[in-house]
Amino acid sequence: MEKIAKMSSENGVVIFTKSTCCLCYAVQILFQDLGVRPLIHEIDGDPAGADIEKALMRMGCSGPLPAVFIGGSLVGSTNEVMSLHLSGSLIPRLAPYQNHTIS
């Protein structure tokens, strides 16, 4: 879907969410704690939300939302983000988009 490609290529970090999703909120807080201010797109407030969600699944988002893009590439949902974080691989990927240094 063109909207997803445009948003993910024009912004360093994009999270597609639903306003009522607790996992979406948890990922947003993680990124905030890591000094990153992602573009948050709540699809439940978008008239094309159902189509966006279907397109994200077709793109390979393994679970329900959130769908996280870093540097224009789909990282995945909560499981993928947390796996990257626990392995120490998330912070280096986020480094170009951090507003402050994480020690």
Residue 58 pLDDT > 60 = yes
| Other Cβ atoms within 10 Å of 36 Cβ, number | 23
- pLDDT band of residue 101 (cuts 50, 70, 90) is very low
Residue 63 pLDDT > 90 = no
Domains in the chain (CATH in brackets) are 2-97 (3.40.30.10)
pTM: 0.91
Contact call for residues 1 and 43 (beta carbons, < 8 A): no
- pLDDT band of residue 64 (cuts 50, 70, 90) is confident
Whole-angstrom distance, CA of residue 44 vs CA of residue 32 = 22
